[in-house]
Structure 1
Amino acid sequence: MRWHPPGYGGERRDPDRVKRDGWRDQGVLAISIDDERLSWPERELVRQLGEKLYGPRQSRADAQEP
């Protein structure tokens, strides 16, 4: 089969390219709170926005319990 539908075979995009394409094409921004390219104030802003929109993050202990 020479033709592959999107997502089935062919060339896989790396995660940063998926994020970049999402931002450019759809205005969706995906940011890791631990991204080292961001300064502390920028990471804090991301954390505050995430908490405002989606609530506080689970602690590691909470996430591991069934």
Structure 2
Amino acid sequence: MKIPTPTYRCPLGRLQPEPVDIEALKQRGWRDQHVLVVNESDERLDFVEREFVRRIGERLYGKGGLRHG
């Protein structure tokens, strides 16, 4: 009678991070705590909204940082 050998499960496997839906996390943060996380280059924003976000960021945190795109 052949008994299948059990597959070895690495104990480190349970330490793998769970994938996180970033947009859902941002949405929950806004709804629960009124914390808004916005990327200046978010394509859902028009030019005026992106400029507004950029100016708020510069006013609160100073100029600088990497500009993408």
Length-normalised TM-score, structure 2:
0.66
Distance 1:14 1:33, change over 3 A: same
Unaligned runs of 5+ in 2: 1-14
- Selected match of 1:41 from 14, 34, 48: 48
Structure 2: how far apart are the matches of 1:59 and 1:27? 26
Runs of 4+ aligned structure 1 residues displaced above 4 Å come to none
Match of 1:19 in 2: 26
Task: From the CA coordinates, give the structure whose radius of gyration is larger.
Answer: 2
Instruction: Report the CA distance between 1:40 and its aligned residue.
Output: 0.3
Match of 2:10 in 1: none
Q: What is the RMSD computed on CA atoms of the aligned residues?
A: 2.1
Identity of aligned residues (%): 48
Structure 2: how far apart are the matches of 1:59 and 1:21? 27
Distance 1:58 1:12, change over 3 A: closer
Length-normalised TM-score, structure 1:
0.68
- AA aligned to 1:55 is G
Unaligned runs of 5+ in 1: 1-7, 61-66
